[in-house]
Amino acid sequence: MDFNENKAIYLQIADLLCEQILTGYWPPQEKIPSVREMGMTLEVNPNTVLRTYDFLQQKGIIFNKRGIGYFVEEDSVKKILDIRREDFFENTLPKFYKTISLLQITPEQILEKYREFQQENKSSKDDSSGQSEIK
């Protein structure tokens, strides 16, 4: 995994895990890799993975069965979507509006590009998900 210097590694790992939960790679109630396994897979310190797992557990996305491991919460998809939507509306969308205003891009142009994106995404989904996977 290539890490971005502008965001804490544990949060980037959390984003990856959430993405994989959203895509169904890890369905609700499924066991996810142990802290050590994930650390080895991502080539990071197990303490960083533990911090990620603690963070996701506090958000109610995963839970720990003592002595057995970490599992995906039943309602994790809803929680992830709620968190990501809130972040999108509070952080991403205002920057987006400012940018399209500065560039004098019309809503029609945005809609046209969005429709193109949907068509391309539909085609690529039929071929493969393209998601990086950890198991």
pLDDT in tens, 10-53: 999 999 999 999 999 999 999 999 999 999 999 999 999 999 99
Give bridge partners of residue 71 from the DSSP assignment.
31, 63
Q: How far is CA 54 from CA 9, 48, 108, 119, 126, in A?
A: 14, 10, 43, 38, 35
| Cα–Cα distance, 103 to 95 (Å, whole number) | 12
Model pLDDT, residue 129:
47
Q: Report residue 58 CA to chain centroid gap.
A: 16
Q: How far is CA 22 from CA 45, 54, 81, 87, in A?
A: 25, 19, 8, 16
Residue entry with tokens 């491991």: 69
The model scores a pTM over 0.85: no
Give 26-30 contacts, CB < 8 A, sequence gap 24+. 26/72, 27/72, 28/72, 28/73, 28/74, 28/75, 28/76, 28/77, 29/71, 29/72, 29/74, 30/71, 30/72
Mean pLDDT to the nearest integer, 53-80:
97
Per-residue pLDDT band at 126 (split at 50, 70, 90): low
Model pLDDT, residue 54:
98
| Cα–Cα distance, 32 to 72 (Å, whole number) | 7
